[in-house]
């Protein structure tokens, strides 16, 4: 299984579409999870066709923010179990392989209600009776060294997220090659 997850900040720009096409050609993922798509399902269907994927499920944005989508290569492999503005939970049944859960998740961006993401994970784990993979942008870190620059990340968020991971028996996979997934202010003194 090969997955690509991207917080694309909108699928409507030619730049975003070109970048996604190049990534898909380079990485050849079986699944693509997109967060903050900022578009309706008909736009995602066009992207799905352009990329040569057979299936897609979209939770449209509320107003001018959010929206998530999961795309997959083989329609016969996927069953949607549940979804919300923050997640798409599926069961994947690969031909001749082991059945597993795949959940695309976009964590609550507001620090003050981040616990809702952790509670969502706790609720989902109670229904998982097979191997489980969560992909996406959970808007959290597991250690202070996962962030460089700016103010320190609030300790209560790191502790709360780690408690959720431990309680649910999950494992954070380390990044390889480049240690960060997001940056702002590159080349300035305010680089984060």
Q: Does residue 179 carry a pLDDT above 70?
A: no
How far is 64 from 9, CA to CA, in rounded Å?
11
Q: For residue 76, what are the domain limits?
A: 3-139
In the chain, which residue ranges form alpha helices assigned H by DSSP?
Answer: 14-27, 41-51, 115-125, 155-167
Q: Is residue 30 part of a domain?
A: yes
Q: Give the mean pLDDT of 5-11.
A: 91
Q: Give the up-direction half-sphere exposure of residue 47: CA atoms within 13 A in the CB hemisphere.
A: 31
Q: Is residue 156 part of a domain?
A: no
Q: Is residue 26 part of a domain?
A: yes
Q: Give the mean pLDDT of 149-172.
A: 92
Q: Is residue 114 part of a domain?
A: yes
Q: Does residue 134 carry a pLDDT above 90?
A: yes
Q: Is residue 29 part of a domain?
A: yes
* Radius of gyration of the chain from its Cα atoms, rounded to whole angstroms: 17
Q: Is residue 130 part of a domain?
A: yes
| Nearest of 122, 130, 116, 28 to residue 79 by alpha carbon | 130
Angular region, 67: left φ>0, alpha ψ -120 to 50, beta rest? left
In tens, the pLDDT along 17-48 reads 999 999 999 999 999 999 999 999 999 999 99
The CATH number given to whatever domain includes residue 134 is 3.60.10.10
Structure-block tokens of residue 59: 């939770």
Q: Is residue 169 part of a domain?
A: no
In tens, the pLDDT along 54-64 reads 999 999 998 88
Looking up tokens 């994947």, which residue turns up? 92
Q: Does residue 141 carry a pLDDT above 90?
A: no
Average predicted confidence (pLDDT) for the chain:
90
Structure-block tokens of residue 93: 């049944």
In tens, the pLDDT along 88-124 reads 999 999 988 899 999 999 999 999 999 999 999 999 9
CA 112 to chain centre: 20
Q: Give the mean pLDDT of 155-173.
A: 93
Number of domains in the chain: 1
Q: Which helix (H) or strand (E) holds 101?
A: strand 100-106
Q: Is residue 91 part of a domain?
A: yes
What strand order describes the sheet that includes 68-72?
A: 3-7, 31-35, 68-72, 55-59
């Amino acid at each position: 299984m090969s997955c690509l997850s991207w917080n694309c900040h909108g699928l409507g720009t030619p730049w975003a579409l070109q970048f996604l096409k190049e990534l898909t050609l380079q990485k050849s993922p079986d699944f693509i999870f997109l967060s903050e798509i900022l578009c309706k399902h008909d736009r995602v269907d066009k992207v799905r066709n352009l990329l040569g994927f057979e299936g897609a499920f979209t939770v449209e944005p509320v107003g001018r923010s959010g929206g998530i989508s999961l795309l997959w290569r083989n329609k016969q492999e996927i069953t949607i179990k549940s979804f919300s503005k923050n997640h798409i939970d599926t069961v994947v049944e690969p031909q001749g392989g082991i059945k597993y859960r795949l959940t695309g998740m976009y964590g609550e961006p507001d620090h003050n209600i981040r616990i809702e993401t952790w509670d969502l994970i706790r609720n989902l784990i109670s229904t998982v009776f097979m191997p489980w993979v969560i992909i996406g942008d959970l808007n959290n870190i597991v250690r202070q060294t996962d962030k460089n620059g700016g103010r320190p990340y609030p300790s209560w968020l790191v502790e709360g997220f780690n408690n959720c991971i431990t309680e649910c028996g999950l494992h954070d996979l380390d990044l390889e090659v480049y240690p960060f997934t997001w940056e702002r202010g590159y080349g300035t003194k305010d680089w984060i």
